[in-house]
Amino acid sequence: MEKYAAVDLGAESGRIIVGDVREIEEIYRFENRPIRIGDNIFWDVLNIFAEIKTGLKRAFARHRIRSIGLDSWGVDFALLDCQGDLIGSVYHYRDPRTDDVPDRVFSLIPKREIYEETGIQYMAINTVHQLYAAKQQKPGLVDQACSLLTLPNLMHYWLTGVMANEYSHASTTQLYNPRTRDWSWRIIDALGFKRDWFGDILAPGTNLGSLLPHVAEEIGASAEVAVIASATHDTACAVAAIPAPGKGKHAYISSGTWSLLGIETPEPIISDKSYAYNFTNEGGADGGIRFLKNITGLWIIQECKRHWDRIDRQYSYGELTDLAREFGPAEFGIDANDPRFLKPGLIEDSMPDRIIAACREAGQRVPQSPAEFVRGVLQSLAGLYADSVRELEEAAERPVEALYIIGGGSRNSLLCELTARAAGLPVFAGPVEATAIGNILVQAISMGDIESIDRGRELVRDSYAIAEFSP
């Protein structure tokens, strides 16, 4: 098969990866560092776009590439004026501006009604709350808006000039109705948002056309190179590359900064139990639904590491995992979904400090060493995964007989072992680069090189090492 370029934007870094479904190569990696100004946190989207072009230029210098696809995390967005120019800065989903917003939104349209309309779990970071915060706090700026683009689709617009949002990413906004397969005009109207902000919703794999001439010239690409609106949500891409046979009795955990635990279904599951357990219905790469729960994942360890790097010494993630394994079982546990663990740690309020505070409140042993912190967090995540699997089985009325862990967290053998033990299920780990592989897979389907996601998954199973952990 010909080669494809996947632009995979993560909360810590962005990568440009080139290959086909069977083999990939990382061409370029750049740090994606949020910008803190006063009490606010922003994404440096202009630098992200510049880095994307730098990486693509290197890719085109080394390979013949047929198309480009881009994915990123969910919920974040940009507003543009009627000339297509950016209005203001793009806020980071961990910015505190939404802390008190959900209650105000629920006073206009009840929380349960929002869930019934969208099937999206409650999180203060959701687009609906971010947009309402912008409308209340920055009315002068918001009044200038003519369009809303989710973050990867903003990058697509700057690459191609095409302004539209792709399904898998639009579904994360809590402004989309998975039953009508359109924007939730009921919520949009109730919150006073302008209908004109919300344009076309594209199916995953839509060919957006060619690069803008000045972009093609800058990165050294030919006019024949296509830009594909792959499944632009990173988890949708990752799930497309699960090496499971069919869509049987398995669940997945897309493990990284966040842990996304769920199953694939053709239709949304919106019920009393899915609401009570806070499950969400997001768009899949095949046009179906990813029924899942967002769990704060390795972010907690990332923030602990950032603190230790600053005040102690720099550890690698592998070193921290090895230390945690040697330490043995920890005598504390935390609720990884506690809101206190959501925001970035500061010097005077670090992530380890927050863990210590949670342990003291619960009357538990206070961890002392990095090894003990990491072991306790990993045990807590594994326990939370196990509990979430049981909730998933109840809400979906479907048994789970195996877990597939994909993404960066699949490297963490200790987490995989602890998860298999806590859930009492076999765990299959890998591939690590599931997001990029899935991005490329959707592009290859769009360009006619692969006939289906099922066929792509066969290629993944045959091409990558998948580790197995027994309960």
Which tokens sit at 208? 């957006």
pTM of the full structure: 0.93
Name the residue ranges covered by the structural domains of the chain.
Answer: 3-234, 244-430
Active site residue 200: no
> Which of 8, 234, 286, 449 is an active site residue?
234
Architecture, CATH, for domain 244-430: 2-Layer Sandwich (3.30)
- DSSP readout, 41-98? EEE-HHHHHHHHHHHHHHHHHH--EEEEEEEB-SS-EEEE-TTS-B-SPEEPTT-GGG
CA-to-CA distance for 317 and 314, rounded, in angstroms? 10
CB under 8 Å to 173, separation ≥6 — which residues?
74, 75, 77, 120, 126, 127, 128, 150
User: What length does the chain have?
Assistant: 471
- DSSP readout, 82-111? TTS-B-SPEEPTT-GGGTTHHHHHHHHS-H
Cα three-residue angle 127-128-131, rounded to 5 degrees: 80
Q: Is the peptide bond before 431 cis (omega within 30 degrees of 0)?
A: yes
Please tell me the predicted confidence (pLDDT) of residue 344. Answer: 85
Structural contact between residues 301 and 374, judged by C-beta atoms closer than 8 angstroms? yes
- DSSP readout, 177-211? ETTTTEE-HHHHHHTT--GGG---EEPTTEEEEEP
Structural contact between residues 215 and 159, judged by C-beta atoms closer than 8 angstroms? yes
Q: Based on the number of CB atoms within 10 Å of its own CB, is 137 exposed (0-12), middle (13-18) or buried (19 or more)?
A: exposed
CA-to-CA distance for 302 and 309, rounded, in angstroms? 10
Architecture, CATH, for domain 3-234: 2-Layer Sandwich (3.30)
- DSSP readout, 301-334? HHHHHHHHHHHS----HHHHHHHHHHH---S---
State the 10-residue block means of pLDDT for the chain, 471 residues long.
92 94 97 94 97 98 97 97 96 95 97 98 95 96 96 98 98 98 98 96 98 97 95 97 86 94 97 97 97 94 94 92 97 94 84 96 96 98 97 97 95 97 98 97 97 96 96 93
Q: Based on the number of CB atoms within 10 Å of its own CB, is 29 exposed (0-12), middle (13-18) or buried (19 or more)?
A: middle
Please tell me the predicted confidence (pLDDT) of residue 286. Answer: 95
Is the fold of 3-234 the same as that of 244-430?
A: yes
Please tell me the predicted confidence (pLDDT) of residue 1. Answer: 65
Structural contact between residues 162 and 156, judged by C-beta atoms closer than 8 angstroms? yes
Please tell me the predicted confidence (pLDDT) of residue 67. Answer: 98
CA-to-CA distance for 339 and 189, rounded, in angstroms? 29
CA-to-CA distance for 360 and 346, rounded, in angstroms? 20
3-state helix, strand, coil in the chain (%, to 5): 45, 20, 35
Please tell me the predicted confidence (pLDDT) of residue 45. Answer: 98
Q: Looking at residue 335, what DSSP letter applies?
A: -
Q: What are phi and psi of 329, to 5 degrees?
A: -55, 135
